[in-house]
Every structure is written in structure tokens, then in C-alpha cells.
Amino acid sequence: MKIHHLLILISFTIVVACKTDPKKETVTEPSAIKLPKAIVPKVEEDSAYFFIEKQLSFGVRVPGSDGHLKTRDWIVNTLKSYGAEVTIQEFKASFLNKKDVPSYNIIARMNPGEKKRIALFAHWDTRLIAEKDKNEALRNKPIQGAVDGASGVAALLEIARLMKANPVNLGVDFVFFDAEDQGDDSATETWCLGSQFWSKSVQNDSSKPEMGILLDLS
């Protein structure tokens, strides 16, 4: 699915969700459901692709690298410019013979006062090694991550930009996971370290989102 098609679908989901009346909890047969009319904001492909290009300009985003920190700060500042309430969730990640590397989930809340909330997820780190690359010369080198990482982040940032220009009465949490792509296939629990950490942190949080959509390799 092309990135602009994906953005249109998610934008429509957000707009429709915000038009739902929470007081009406009636069950309706699927064939009888009529979606309310909604104006879906135009997705700007150039904007989304710029967000990808910007991430790549920082270099690889492996936890512990210079490009990683620069990307973190840029994502945070971009989200704040769209009016989001941003927090950084720091944790230590051990992966691929590296120990206790500082890692950062980025959590941005749009419309923080809204009780009805959904979450949109993506990971922003890039993998330390490309061990499955067809080119053997590249297998010990880090992945640039234009698709695997940057595209999902770009999609979320574009949605946040659209929400600033087109306010909705729905709370949206944008969660950018770190240390997701550094796992070892022989130990499945070594993958998705950022999402594991985040999910445990909100387990007993009454304000956690009701549902979520994960964008990866979008």
C-alpha cells in the first residue's frame, strides 16, 4: 500500500471516529451501518516524503548513535510545533552484544483532555546490521531504514500535521517506539523492546487508548 493511500485511510478513520456519539451504544447489523459524512483532509505526499528524507539526512538511527539522538530531538520538536503534548520515555536496551544502551520512546498526545483516545504507533530506530541482505558486503553494516522505520514515522507526523490544521474531538496518542528492530531471531523476546516497555507502563493507566494502529514498513 502506498503511503498516501495509507494516510487517507487512517485520516478517514480518525474523522469518522470523532463524529461518533458516545451516548449511543446501540448494536447495529453491519449491513445497516451508515457512515456519517466526513471531510477527509488532503494528504500532502510531498510533506510525507520530506519527513522520510529528513530522517535519512541524520544517518542511521541505531540506539546509541549520533543520528539517533538528532532524530529524536527533531521528532520531538516537530510534534511540539503541531501542538502535541510530548514526553520522552527513557529506558535501557540490550541488543546484539550491546548492553544498556539509552533508548527513548516518544509519546505525543493530541487533545490530551479528551477521554476517548486511540493510538497510532511506529518505530523510529533502524537496525544495527543488515544480516539478511542479498549483498554479503552489506550484512555487517547498519540499515538506512527509509522504509523500515522512516516511512511509518513520516506517516504519523503527516497525520499530526493534518490534525493541527483540522481539529477533531478525539484524543490521539502518537507513540514512536525505540529499540524495536534490534532483535535476535534465536530469542524472540529481544525484538520490540520499546513496545514491550511502553505496554507495561500503561497497563494500569485508566487514560490509555482504547485501540491502536501500528504502522511498520508502510
Work out how many domains the chain is built from and give that number: 1
Range of the domain at 66: 3-214
Q: What is the CATH number of the domain that holds 36?
A: 3.40.630.10
pLDDT tens-digit profile of 63-111?
999 999 999 999 999 999 999 999 999 999 999 999 999 999 999 999 9
For residues 43 and 159, give the distance between their C-alpha atoms in angstroms, rounded to a whole number: 8
Residues 40, 12 contacting (CB under 8 angstroms): yes
Residue 14 sits at φ, ψ, to 5 deg, of -65, -45
Residue 204 has pLDDT above 80, yes or no: yes
pTM, two decimal places: 0.84
Give residues with Cβ within 8 angstroms of 136, minimum separation 6: none
pLDDT bin (cut points 50, 70, 90) of residue 19 is: very low
pLDDT more than 70, % of the chain: 82
Work out the mean pLDDT of the chain and round it to a whole number. 88
Distance CA 120, CA 22 (A): 21
Q: pLDDT-based confidence at 8, cuts 50/70/90?
A: low
First-to-last alpha carbon distance for the chain, in angstroms, is 7
